Amino acid sequence: MTVHFLYKKLGNSPKHLQYAWFSAMHTRVDMALYHASKELLKDTACQIYAEVARLEQTGSFYSAESELCAVNRHAAAKPVAISRDLYRMVELSLELHKKTLGCFDVTVNSGSYDSQTIAGVALEKEAQTIFYRRPDIKIDLSGFLKGYALEQARAILAKAGLKDALISMGGSSVLAIGNHPFGGGWKVDFRTAKNGDATAVRLHNRCLSTSGNEIPGQKHIISPHTGKYIEGIGRAAVVTETGTEGEALSTSLCVATARQREEILQRFKAEQILID
């Protein structure tokens, strides 16, 4: 069994709170759902697990067997027909690249990267193909996949008729829909890197995304301006409507200049929780 479950009955109500967790996408996924039917809860969590695992097979930059890796190997030679999900993810990434003034760039891991690299990615809607106009392009969806998975999870929850849920992908991408059993929205806490104080944020039909180089010696965000790992900024956390926006925005804020930040935030109508 890959998904783990714990249940708690909600007082005198016939409902149960289900806590389900599993590992996927090189991190852990935790979710809280509640309903009267344990079967429905369990089934929904399993569907979400299956979906996350499927997306990992599709969009992982690190797993050689993923669809994305096959694209990275072959798309410079000729247009490659791709799945609906991969097409949609790349398409969204390109849109978000524009919307973030170039700060969110899924091609930063390409060889001889420059700010024009991403323009070499060509999508063909009719044929649902992708083609790399430059030979050394590599798309890396790592900073995006979890947000996309949250949106897929949201659709599964809606289909199951579950209106209240909290899903965390590794703590850095959180989707909160509806309400906690005993309060409005869901309250999430995170420690600021600098002084260790807790910061709580209440989420209601929103996503919380955090990006940053919090762990010493584990830099992973590359600036499209310089092509190098960013220094200085610890974390950027934002609250957005969708997980995909959240991922692009939090990553962008880590690499943006102060002026760019202001403009990007306005474009997304998002709330910036912290930059430290």
Partner 1 sequence: MDFKGMKRRDFLKNMGVAGLTAFVASSPWVSAFSESARTQKEKIRLGIIGPGSRGRHLMHFLCKNPKVEVAALCDIYRPSIDAALRLAPGAKVYADYRQLLDDRSVDGVFVATPLNAHYPIVMDAFDAGKHVFCEKSIGYTIEECFRMYNKHLETGLIFFTGQQRLFDPRYLKAMEMVHAGIFGEVNAIRTFWNRNDDWRRQVPSPELERLINWRLYRESSKGLMTELACHQLQIGSWALQKIPETVMGHGAITYWKDGREVYDNISCIYTFDDGKIMTFDSVISNKFYGLEEQIMGHLGTVEPEKGRYFFEDVAPAPGFLQMLNDVERKLFDALPFAGTSWAPETANENRGEFILGERPKGDGTDLLVNAFVEAAITRRQPERIAEEGYYASALCLLGDQALQEKRALTFPDEFKIGYLNHQRTK
- In the window 198-237, what residues touch partner 1 (CB under 8 A)? 198, 200-201, 208, 210-215, 218, 235, 237
Nearer to partner 1, 77 or 229 (CB): 229
Among 108, 166, 255, 270, binds partner 1 (CB under 8 A): 166
Rounded CA-CA distance 221/271 in Å is: 21
Q: Beta-strand (E) ranges in the chain?
A: 4-9, 16-24, 27-35, 80-81, 121-124, 129-132, 165-169, 173-177, 186-191, 198-203, 206-212, 235-240, 271-275
Nearer to partner 1, 117 or 142 (CB): 142
Tell whether residue 178 is a contact of partner 1 (CB under 8 A): no
Residue 188: CB minimum distance to partner 1, A: 5
What is the distance of C-alpha 265 from the center of its chain?
Answer: 18
DSSP state letter for 75: T
* Residues written for the chain: 276
Among 39, 65, 189, 197, binds partner 1 (CB under 8 A): 189
Sign of CA dihedral 60, 22, 172, 197: negative
Nearer to partner 1, 4 or 73 (CB): 4
Tell whether residue 168 is a contact of partner 1 (CB under 8 A): yes
Tell whether residue 36 is a contact of partner 1 (CB under 8 A): no
Rounded CA-CA distance 116/105 in Å is: 10
**How many residues bind partner 1, per CB under 8 A?**
49
Tell whether residue 258 is a contact of partner 1 (CB under 8 A): no
Look up residue 166 and give its two tokens: 């909290």
Nearer to partner 1, 108 or 201 (CB): 201
- In the window 65-104, what residues touch partner 1 (CB under 8 A)? none
Tell whether residue 255 is a contact of partner 1 (CB under 8 A): no
Among 17, 94, 106, 137, binds partner 1 (CB under 8 A): 17
Among 60, 93, 107, 173, binds partner 1 (CB under 8 A): 173
Nearer to partner 1, 26 or 228 (CB): 26
Whether residue 135 contacts residue 76, with contact meaning beta carbons closer than 8 Å, is answered with: yes
Residue 252: CB minimum distance to partner 1, A: 15
End-to-end CA distance of the chain: 39
Q: Cα dist. 220→69, 99, 247 in Å?
A: 19, 22, 14
Chain residues binding partner 1 by CB under 8 A are: 1, 4, 6-8, 10-11, 17, 19, 21-23, 26-28, 30, 32, 146, 166, 168-174, 180-183, 186-191, 198, 200-201, 208, 210-215, 218, 235, 237
